[in-house]
Amino acid sequence: MVEQGKKIWRDGEILDREAGDRTSLLTHTLHYGVGAFEGIRAYQRADGKTYIFRLQEHITRLFDSCKLVKLEPRVSLQQVCDGCSALLAAEGMKDGYLRPVIMYGPGAMGVLPADNTVETFVVAWSWGAYLGSEGLEKGIRCKISPFCRHHISVAFAKGKITGQYVNSVMAKQDAKLSGFDEALMCDVNGFVCEGTGENVFVIKNGRITTPPLGASILAGITRDTVMVLAREEGIPLVEANLTRDELYLADEVFLTGTAAEVTPVREVDHRPIGAGARGELTRRLQQRYFDVVKGSDDSHPEWLSLVE
């Protein structure tokens, strides 16, 4: 169990958990999966203050996800941003993971939402290294999943839509039951797309490759962060389709995500990646990432929202 906070932000109000943690069994989203969500981290940085990382970008993506499925929030983007900060302040959490959700409430119970309410909430919990602190240092073991990523004509890869995550849950479950830490999913044509909640990067001969946004991938905010940092570090980077053999033959592989941060991959399908340990470029980028999100690297103040 995660350590959930004591408060919930719900449609503009901060409520005690008991009052706010209630949802009707006739919640349309529970039955059909049309809801939008985000995962956001806040860190206490070296100056002792807590900052939410790339809050505006996360909430913009939340509203974009709503647009994709024609879900119309009753609150504004700014209200949700303010709600995230207010919730963390009310919790007194120094480091935390924020989970905003926008969903249909009760109303019509057929597939087509009609008079259903639209509800927005944000909850927070404490979350350490999602793929383990050992994984951050030594790298994790991945499996190419038998579950393909949604075809672009089937679902919205660019949205964090609740129901779409059945695909990720199945892939993750299969990987864990098979003794691996994480699954990597390919599209229906066999190109490597992403992890169940992470984007993927491959390094070969000093050059980084990651699948392009046209692939069936989420436009990860950590992906974007790492791409900016790689360019600043002078490491060549291209966005191109990746095949499974390019993955197996890479010098380094790493995953990025709000929860997973920058996690090295040391093995894919029983094949060691490079030396079978965290690679040097991965270590450099990981270090830079942690310096930016929670250290004293002040080169990107535009990514940090102070919690007051």
Task: Give CA–CA dist 176/248, Å, rounded.
Answer: 20
Which member of 10, 28, 143, 223 binds ligand PMP (CB under 6 A)?
223
Residue 98 contacts ligand PMP per CB under 6 A: no
- Nearer to ligand PMP by Cβ, of 113 and 197: the residue is 197
Residue ranges with strand state E in 45-191: 50-53, 96-104, 118-126, 140-144, 182-186
State which residue, 141 or 223, has the beta carbon closest to ligand PMP: 223
129, 136 Cβ separation under 8 angstroms = yes
Nearest partner of 252 among 181, 194, 199, 200, judged by Cα: 200
**CB of 167 closer than 8 Å to CB of 128:** no
Selected range binding ligand PMP among 99-107, 174-182, 192-200, 243-251, rule: CB under 6 A? 192-200
Total number of residues that touch ligand PMP (CB under 6 A): 15
Q: Considering beta carbons, is residue 75 or 262 the nearer one to ligand PMP?
A: 262
Any idea how long the chain is?
308
x/- mask, ligand PMP, residues 249-288, rule CB under 6 A, reads -------xxx------------------------------
Question: Does residue 65 touch ligand PMP according to CB under 6 A?
Answer: no
Question: Binding of ligand PMP at residue 210 (CB under 6 A)?
Answer: no
Nearer to ligand PMP among residue 109 and residue 169 (C-beta): 169
172 carries an active-site annotation: no
Tokens, residue 53: 């990382």
CA distances (Å), origin 146, targets 127, 162, 190, 195, 241: 29, 21, 11, 12, 19
Residues within the interface to ligand PMP (CB under 6 A): 39, 160, 168, 194, 197-199, 218, 220-223, 256-258
